[in-house]
């Protein structure tokens, strides 16, 4: 078995599995299926096997990593809002689960673990763009859990000689992202509502900005991180598009693609939300050769097309 993708039935995970399988790699998926769906893998015949299990269960994780060379650890409970409502479960899945993956990988002789972290670890620092050397300042249990996972990865790289690379993803979006969840990300929520002619909901004034990153860029970075040289081991790297987009601009971009003029509905700010985010990706370029392949506007057009033409099966996928 070449690789394991934890969370491989989820949004980023299924796109990664698709890419790996298309290149001929033997892929094993490990997923608890509470936020992911096997429907996302239905068209990927012959990619390997699926193990249903929870990263909180060390024995299940040990079975999943057996005989694997590279682990892409994407399994997590996403969403700042969810973590604010339930910090204990967020910690158990994102921190304890990550520690289980690292322990099991070390014991099984896995060569490298690529860990999906988050730009949320930077908090509300006014300095832009975000540099990996900036002091972290997490504002939510979710952000704190991702930072803890990075710390464990760094420790295992230095103490146990398990190669790890942590990627701080900036607002990943694209096909297979679930718009229906209470904790859905902003782009699928906006697109889903605007396709129905419904105003998108903005928490705050809409001037908050994000570095939206199309999912193909995230998959590209994950695969590069698995193959990168020793200088990347133990490091944390920003993965973004290097473009700053406000939520008001996002609404206009979607309107432009749809040929509509739908105005947003403004709601109260949410606890734990970051005001501005923009990635400096020079370190990722230097250490793993990462550059974004798809622009925000290009990715948005692809995503809107997918949402507009998705099948009933896709509507349940995450």
* C-beta neighbour count of 265 within 10 angstroms: 11
Q: What is the DSSP letter of 96?
A: I
- Cα distances (Å, whole numbers) of residue 164 to 4, 99, 114, 119, 234: 14, 12, 6, 18, 5
Query: How far apart (Å, rounded) are the C-alpha atoms in residues 119 and 53?
Result: 27
Place of tokens 């909180």: 56
Place of tokens 């309107």: 255
Q: Which of 72, 142, 152, 214 is catalytic?
A: 142
- Cα distances (Å, whole numbers) of residue 231 to 20, 116, 174, 285, 289: 24, 18, 30, 12, 12
Assess whether 183 carries a catalytic annotation.
Answer: no
Instruction: Pick the closest to residue 36 from 55, 60, 57, 64 (CA basis).
Output: 55
Question: Which residues have C-beta within 8 Å of that of residue 109, sequence separation ≥ 6?
Answer: none
Would you say 284 and 290 are in contact if contact means Cβ atoms under 8 Å apart?
yes
Instruction: Please name the residue ranges forming H helices in the chain.
Output: 11-22, 58-65, 80-85, 87-91, 97-108, 141-159, 186-195, 215-227, 247-258, 282-288, 296-309
Instruction: Pick the closest to residue 14 from 24, 29, 1, 25 (CA basis).
Output: 29
Query: How far apart (Å, rounded) are the C-alpha atoms in residues 117 and 73?
Result: 9
Tell me whether strands 70-73 and 3-6 are parallel, antiparallel or unpaired: parallel
Structure tokens at 37: 């769906």
Please list the active-site residues. Answer: 142
């Amino acid at each position: 078995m070449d690789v394991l993708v934890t969370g491989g039935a989820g949004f980023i995970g299924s796109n990664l599995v698709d890419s790996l399988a298309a290149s001929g790699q033997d892929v094993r998926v490990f997923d608890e299926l509470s936020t992911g769906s096997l429907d996302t893998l239905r068209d990927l015949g012959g990619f390997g096997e699926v193990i249903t299990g929870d990263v909180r269960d060390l024995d299940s994780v040990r079975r999943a990593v057996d005989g694997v060379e590279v682990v892409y650890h994407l399994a997590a409970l996403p969403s700042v809002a969810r973590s604010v409502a339930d910090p204990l479960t967020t910690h158990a899945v994102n921190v304890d689960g990550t520690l289980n993956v690292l322990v099991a990988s070390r014991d099984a002789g896995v060569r490298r673990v690529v860990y999906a972290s988050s730009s949320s670890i930077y908090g509300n620092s006014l300095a832009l763009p975000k540099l990996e050397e900036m002091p972290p300042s997490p504002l939510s249990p979710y952000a704190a859990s991702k930072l803890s996972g990075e710390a464990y990865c760094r420790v295992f790289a230095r103490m146990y000689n398990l190669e790890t690379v942590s990627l701080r993803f900036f607002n990943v979006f694209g096909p297979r992202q679930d718009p229906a969840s209470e904790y859905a990300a902003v782009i699928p929520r906006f697109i889903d509502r605007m396709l129905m002619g419904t105003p998108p909901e903005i928490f705050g004034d809409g001037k908050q900005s994000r570095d939206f990153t199309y999912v193909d860029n995230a998959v590209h970075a994950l695969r590069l991180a698995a193959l990168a040289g020793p200088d990347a081991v133990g490091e944390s790297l920003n993965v973004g598009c290097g473009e700053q987009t406000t939520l008001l601009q996002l609404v206009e971009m979607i309107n432009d693609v749809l040929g509509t003029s739908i105005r947003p509905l403004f709601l109260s700010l949410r606890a734990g939300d970051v005001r501005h985010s923009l990635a400096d990706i020079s370190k990722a370029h230097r250490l793993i050769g990462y550059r974004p392949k798809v622009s925000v506007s290009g990715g948005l057009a692809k995503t809107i097309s997918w949402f507009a033409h998705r099948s009933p099966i896709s509507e349940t996928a995450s």
